[in-house]
Amino acid sequence: MNEISMAQALNAALRDAVKDDDRVLIFGEDVGPLGGVFRVTDGITADFGEERCFDTPLAEAGIVGFAVGMAMGGFRPVVEMQFDAFAYPAFEQITSHVAKLRNRTRGALSLPMVIRIPYAGGIGGVEHHCDSSEAYYTHTPGLRVVTPGTPQDAYDLLRDAIDSPDPVIFLEPKCRYWAKEAVSFTRGKAPMDRAVVRRAGKDVTLLAYGPMVATALETAEAATAEGWDVEVVDLRSLNPFDDETVSASVRRTGRAVVVHEAAGFGGYGAEVVARVTEQCFHRLHAPVLRVTGLDIPYPPPKLERHQLPDVDRILDTIARLQWHDEPVVAGA
């Protein structure tokens, strides 16, 4: 197998879906002849025609509303929001209609559609181009929310998302678009709603997703110098959440750290901490901690490195996990 980038893996998934299912349509801003800002749809219009992959006006609410109608009519639309914060004008369509139509019609109608959103930072972009907006979507019942951390997962998850009978918010970590690995195009790997242990360890579990998976793995390697054997779990599916895999890992290690780029206050990691604490309380040797972005609007490019969790910040947090029993000082 040849190594390909995450963007190329996503392109391959879209091509295979269009080829395998006449109901799959791809549309959004500049996804046609240009191939998208990040070239994820490169060449698809040329190879399959404008009937299958086409440009839309710059109107995100209209793009998603049109996709709702197409899905109700039996198609499987895959739409792109050009950047994370560009999706906010479509938020009412997503929360009021995409997420609720199956419930509203008592199951008579479903919306098999995928909303692709390039998200998070690490590319030197400015605000409106680097939001980590996952908590908005995971808080909305009726939506599946997934995010790949590797090129292989990009292919697998996107194929599964397009096949899903439910609407899927597909969050693509922009800073990993150019990461490469050997990718198999064979179906039947880990189901879309399951987490995956990327690295086995016995001392502490790092829980990460999307852009932070690679950072967590880098941290795990660096942690060996400190004498820590770190397990890395890639959540993959943010909603529904794979309690079984996550809890099994934390029960083995007894310690856990959640890592994400989004702001800490009210962030997705808070839900993960709550679930792990509730289900693993009697097996924990220390409180579950978080390493997150700062509680500020996304900073300008020259300050971006201070916003993003890195190896040093994660190692510092692991060091706070009460590794030695210390006497309790009265009044402290």
d(CA 90, CA 96) in angstroms, rounded, equals 10
Q: Which CATH superfamily is domain 3-182 in?
A: Thiamin diphosphate (ThDP)-binding fold, Pyr/PP domains (3.40.50.970)
Task: List residues bridging with 230 in a β-sheet.
Answer: 204
295 phi and psi angles, rounded to 5 deg: -85, 65
d(CA 91, CA 70) in angstroms, rounded, equals 18
User: If pLDDT is split at 50, 70 and 90, which confidence band does 302 have?
Assistant: very high
The fraction of the chain above a pLDDT of 90, given in percent, is 93
What residues contact 110, with CB distance under 8 A and at least 6 apart? 71, 101, 102, 165, 166
d(CA 234, CA 245) in angstroms, rounded, equals 10
Q: How many CB atoms lie within 10 A of CB 58?
A: 12
- Where does CATH 3.40.50.920 sit in the chain? 196-320
What is the token pair recorded at 242? 């794979």
- Where does CATH 3.40.50.970 sit in the chain? 3-182
d(CA 211, CA 121) in angstroms, rounded, equals 8
**What's the chain's average pLDDT?**
95
pLDDT, tens only, 219-244: 999 999 999 999 999 999 999 999 99
User: Is pLDDT at 90 greater than 60 in this prediction?
Assistant: yes
CATH code of the region 196-320 = 3.40.50.920
Query: Phi-psi bin for 227: left (phi > 0), alpha (psi -120 to 50), beta?
Result: left
d(CA 126, CA 121) in angstroms, rounded, equals 9
pLDDT, tens only, 104-153: 999 999 999 999 999 999 999 888 899 999 999 999 999 999 999 999 99
User: If pLDDT is split at 50, 70 and 90, which confidence band does 325 have?
Assistant: low
pLDDT, tens only, 147-201: 999 999 999 999 999 999 999 999 999 999 999 999 999 876 789 999 999 999 9
pLDDT, tens only, 258-296: 999 999 999 999 999 999 999 999 999 999 999 999 999
User: Is pLDDT at 41 greater than 50 in this prediction?
Assistant: yes
- Active-site amino acid positions: 129
